[in-house]
Structure 1
Amino acid sequence: MPKLPRSSRLASPVDTTAYGTYRIVRRPDDPRPLYRFSDHVVDKPQSGRYHIYAGWFCPWSQRVVIAHALAGLQGIVTVSYVDNARDGRGWAFRERYGPDPVNGFRLLRQAYEATEEGFDGHISVPTLWDRSTARVVSNDFKGIGIDLATRFQHLATPIVNTYPEAHRAEIEELDAWLNPAVNRGVLAAEQPGPDGERARTALHEALAALDQRLAGRRYLLGPDITEADIRLFVTLVRFGAGITRYPDLWAYARDLYTVPAFRDSTDFTTFTPPGAELPDWSEPVRRPAYT
């Protein structure tokens, strides 16, 4: 079968007049989770079996892309990116990042519909695709990150073991605090009214506590980068100039930004509002020699 021209494998431009805006529709009586697919990578997978559909704009995608890089999985698990904008059809493949290299889908929705006929749920990135079974394995970003860190060590030596067994309980304990207060708290804090005020208070209390914690250690759990640092970084890098109010937290964030996996997965233009003030992420990092 002849290969389709590149242009025929791209979605048409975003058109909210024709397709409306993207909405997550969930019935109150629907017991299914928002992120409906949560299977795991098979034990000892073959190189080339899995593909990640990601988005530069998305913090949850960036978590997975960082984990992928630190696990040394370039060339073992492939990655491609959807366009930065969407209409009612959901995420799509357009000229900026190119066509879908795996299936030639124009819309990410097609991957979900190929997995579940008549799919009526949330279409999100990151999405983990299995070439062998031709289906979505997972759009649970937390589970995907852990799988990348733990399921491929027979194929690649990790640059950093980000989910070491000895620290998994502590990583998840931190996540139980930081996910609602910081990762999701940033958006909640932008809302008006009493709920927004409570979220802002919780957010700044958490950032102050992190600032104090990082005054005495290089990373959240000590001398080595872990999944906990990945999860926090993707929010800090989107926080804007406000992060400079917390000097040790700001130094820690810049320290992480010097690591290629963190820096190379960050494109400020995809998530920073026009005219927004950005701190200087290239400012030299001066931190103590922690023991």
Structure 2
Amino acid sequence: MKVMNTISTIEMPHTVTMNAEDQTVIIFDWDDTICPSSFVDQCKIDTYRDLPLHYQNLFKEISRCAEKCLEAASKFGEVLIITNSDDGWVRYSAEKYIPHILPILDKYRIVSARTRYESYYPNQPLCWKAAAFAHEVNEVYSYCAKAASANVSMDSIDVDDKVSTVSDGSFDTALTSMSEDSLMGGEGQQQRQVISFGDSMEERTSVKIVATQLNATAKSVMFLQSPSPAQIIGELVMLTSSMTYLCTQKQDLDLEIGRGQAEKTCERYLNARNGSAVRIQQGKKA
């Protein structure tokens, strides 16, 4: 991941578990962040089983890596999936293309920003996503505040209605150079933060708008646009291994993943999984 300069639905029934002290909201995009939507569009397939066996195996690995990544994020706060696609698309596309992830989707709140806000902001997808971010994050913080003031646990609450950056170098450099003082933790150090993972400027901009409104730290990791299945695997593996760093930094972060980094990470991951050498050519749609 390369450090960049800082830039100024009808819901499904869902129950979350969170404590009053939770102040971190982590938002995942869906298309081309978890689901390889552009790739299947280009291939013009109906289901992942229409693909050659090699790609079917990669799609299974995407499901496995996405599950691990979502679980890693859940250790640090409330995890949401917010998409600009239509209501129902997340589960529909998961069933067709990455069905192995279906059993765990019910753990997470899924919101269609488009379904909720398109009528208010026609042809303005940034506004849909920013409005959805603002509403969902504010809902989480409102519940946390109410629970804190009442001094009660918020386990199993139904929420149906509900930068200092490194100047140069790679994300790996940022990881190795961090100090204990730069991490959150300890008594009295709890702070609000909104973290976004997605492949477009819509997420990157929305998280900054909402964090400013709610006096929270803004963090974003921008994924590749139109990624290959292998690149998605690499991105998810990188994100999972870096989740503690991302969620415990006190300061704003604005990061992006490079194609070469994603491909090399995928190679290492698949080599470890398969016990044999796998080579992914950079830039190739593997």
Is TM-score (shorter-chain normalized) higher than 0.5?
Answer: no
Greater gyration radius:
1
More helix by share: 2
More strand by share: 2
TM range (shorter): under 0.3
